[in-house]
Amino acid sequence: MSVRTTRTALVAATAVALSVALAAPALAAAPARTDHEATRKAIEAAVDAGVPGVTATAKDGRGAWSATAGVGNLKTGKPRSADDRYRVGSITKTFVATVLLQLEAEGRLSLDDKVEKWLPGLVRGNGHDGSRITVRQLLNHTSGIFNYTADEDFGRTYFLKDGFFEHRYDTQKPEELVAVAMTHKPDFEPGTSWNYSNTNYVLAGMVIEKATGRPYGDAIRERIIKPLHLTATSVPGTRVTVPGPSSRAYSKLAETATGPTYDVTKLNPSLASSAGEMISNSTDLNRFYSALLRGQLLPREQLAEMTTTVPVDETTGYGLGLMKAKLTCGVTVWGHGGGIHGSQSEGVTTEDGRHSLALNFNGDWSGDAVAVIEAEFCGNVPGTRHRADPGVPFAPSRIG
């Protein structure tokens, strides 16, 4: 397969991580459980499948529970920690959408504003037209704007071995990322379909900056991180390291899931910008998603807008930076997945915010995060799920 064909297929799996293999008919609801043994087996299965290490934390009415499997450092054999900080990739999108909805609640912008109003002249070229695209369409991926990480040259430069090691410390400005997307035609007319595009959230971050007059990361820190006391969560900007405690991150930096394994922990996350640059840990992600669904961050009207979804498949919908997925046992979870070099993460919670799970794989080519989610919320032991589609491996070094 070509770089483009493989990348397109794999990024789709990462971007819609919650939806992979959830199209099977719903089974009877699982009985209440008194332990997390199925979840433990699921993270161990991920390590058996090739993931270097996994960290996961769940929180429910009985309190918090954490488990790890595998290693956080392939050279030293050091295990992963329940307190590990890691790059969360597109989980960043939920934070960005939350800030924009807060700004709407304050009357500082409208989701129906055209992108052109806030970013004049930026979304233009090859059929793109910011005067026909709303902020809402950015947030729910119905804008039709091309995904800049699907660009062939960008992929070779930042996601495959030779390019990555030459350019891993490059700084990318948001305008430059959008410009890459503008060299392509739109995927569809605004509002007529759905397609996951990181460009949407680069633009969303820029709208926050225009509306507040400050970097979008400042808004996330002041409006979400500080009020919720998310002590492990940060917006790194151009900082290339992950604060401790943390593990190493590993990738194949290739189109396949075979071959050498490379340490990709250090990189300049500006290539992900407001589409996926943030760092957090499992405890913070559980607190964030629980608070969000419980209405602690948004007024009722804005939370209703956020949870109004467009269909992705039979069991999955995408709201405003928030995904909804119906699991095989009938339980519905809300959250987002995130992938970036050497890191695959999930953060999900029930609609009432009472049962949450966050996890991270420190490798990007193997493992089944959906199996861990199914294990936690349905009690399914790995290998017992009836999957409608075996899916594809997690995208190597993708932002999704």
3-state per-residue secondary structure call for the chain: CCHHHHHHHHHHHHHCCCCCCCCCCCCCCCCCCCCCHHHHHHHHHHHHCCCCEEEEEEEECCEEEEEEEEECCCCCCCECCCCCEEECHHHHHHHHHHHHHHHHHCCCCCCCCEHHHHCCCCCEECCEEHHHCEHHHHHCCCCCCCCHHHCHHHHHHHCCHHHHHHHCCCCCCHHHHHHHHHCCCCCCCCCCCCCCCHHHHHHHHHHHHHHHCCCHHHHHHHHHHHHHCCCCCECCCCCCCCCCCECCCEECCCCCCCCCCEECCCCCHHHCHHHCCCEEEHHHHHHHHHHHHCCCCCCHHHHHHHCCCEECCCCEEECCCCEEEECCCCCEEEEEEEEECCEEEEEEEECCCCCEEEEEECECCCCCHHHHHHHHHHCCCCCCCCCCCCCCCCCCCCCC
pLDDT of the residue at 383: 59
pLDDT of amino acid 31: 41
Cα gap 63→43, rounded to integer Å: 20
Q: What is the pLDDT of residues 335-361, one digit of tens each?
A: 999 999 999 999 999 999 999 999 999
**pLDDT of 394:** 27
d(CA 236, CA 304): 30
Q: What is the pLDDT of residue 247?
A: 98
What local confidence, expressed as pLDDT, does residue 380 receive?
83
Residue numbers annotated as active site: 90
**Residue-level length of the chain:** 400
Joined together, the tokens standing for residue 32 give: 């209440």
Confidence label for 192 from pLDDT (cuts 50, 70 and 90): very high
The pLDDT of residue 399 is 62
Indicate whether 137 pLDDT > 90. yes
pLDDT, tens digit, 9 for 90 and up, residues 65-104 = 999 999 999 999 999 999 999 999 999 999 999 999 999 9
Q: Closest by alpha carbon to 175, among 155, 152, 203?
A: 203
Question: For 367-388, what is the mean pLDDT?
Answer: 78
Phi, psi dihedrals of residue 66, rounded to the nearest 5°: -130, 150
The per-residue pLDDT of the chain, averaged, comes to: 89
Instruction: Check pLDDT > 50 for residue 7.
Output: no
Mean predicted confidence (pLDDT) in 173-197: 98
Nearest partner of 61 among 363, 379, 367, 353, judged by Cα = 353
Comparing CA positions, the residue from 346, 358, 239, 344 lying closest to residue 287 is: 358
For 7, 163, 360, the CA distances from 24, given in Å and listed in that order, are 25, 39, 25
Peptide bond into 25 cis (omega under 30): no
Q: What is the mean pLDDT of residues 107-130?
A: 98
- Residue-wise pLDDT tens digits, 213-240: 999 999 999 999 999 999 999 999 999 9
pLDDT, average across residues 197-225 = 98
Confidence of residue 382 (pLDDT cuts 50, 70, 90): low
Tell me the pLDDT tens digit for each residue of 324-334.
Answer: 999 999 999 99
pLDDT > 50? residue 15: no
The answer to whether the beta carbons of residues 97 and 104 sit under 8 Å apart is no
Q: Please report how the helices 369-378 and 37-48 are oriented relative to each other, as an axis angle in degrees rounded to 10.
A: 170
pLDDT digits (tens, 9 = 90+) for 233-274: 999 999 999 999 999 999 999 988 999 999 999 999 999 999
Least trusted range by pLDDT, from 25-34, 53-62, 246-255: 25-34
| CA distances in angstroms from 370 to 29, 39, 308, 361, 391, listed in the order given | 17, 11, 23, 12, 11
Q: Is it the case that residue 389 has pLDDT exceeding 60? A: no
How far apart CA 250 and CA 245 sit, in angstroms, is 17
Nearest Cα to Cα of residue 331 among 21, 64, 26: 26
**Encoded tokens for 204:** 């969303």
